[in-house]
Copies of this chain bind each other. A is one copy, B any other.
Amino acid sequence: MEPATTRRDYERELRQAGIRITKPRKVILQILTGSEDHPDAMAIFRRAVKIDASISLATVYRTMKLLEGLGAVHRHAFEGGPARFEHADGAHHDHLIDLDTGKVIEFHSETIERLQQQIADELGYDIEHHRLELYGRKRR
């Protein structure tokens, strides 16, 4: 049985934050929640234009920044490319980037999280956030 994955209602959240639901924002949110990959701004823009030809790339960037600020999306600056985005639904995870395809695989290790915490502790620091990325190629 599928667990009833309670999907976040981003439009509702934006409204509550006192932010207008405009046509471009609707479109971008729709793209974001409907994608399970990690598109960059240009990819989002290309998908958006298919739905509403009048959307501009600047608005994509502005909206991503807005959503990031609200905690609705996460921005990832993987090596050697533009920033890529992911809706912030679901639990925290790190990333393995396929160097041949650019595909992103998510993973999570509670043990690693704990060790990071412990290292920061020992150094006298509080972690604000962290970034763990593995870059590799499929074994054959």
Contact = CB atoms under 8 A, between A and B. Distances in A.
A120 B69 CA distance: 31
Contacts of A109: 115, 119
A135 B129 contact: yes
Given A111-B115, A116-B112, A123 B105 contact: yes
Given A79-B131, A132-B130, A139 B115 contact: no
Counting every copy of the chain, the complex holds 2
A43 interface: no
Sorting the interface of chain A by its residue count into under 10, 10 to 19, 20 to 34 or 35 or more gives 20 to 34
Contacts of A134: 116, 119-120, 125, 127, 130
Listed from nearest, the 8 A-B pairs whose CB atoms lie closest are A125-B136, A127-B136, A130-B134, A131-B133, A132-B132, A128-B135, A124-B139, A128-B136
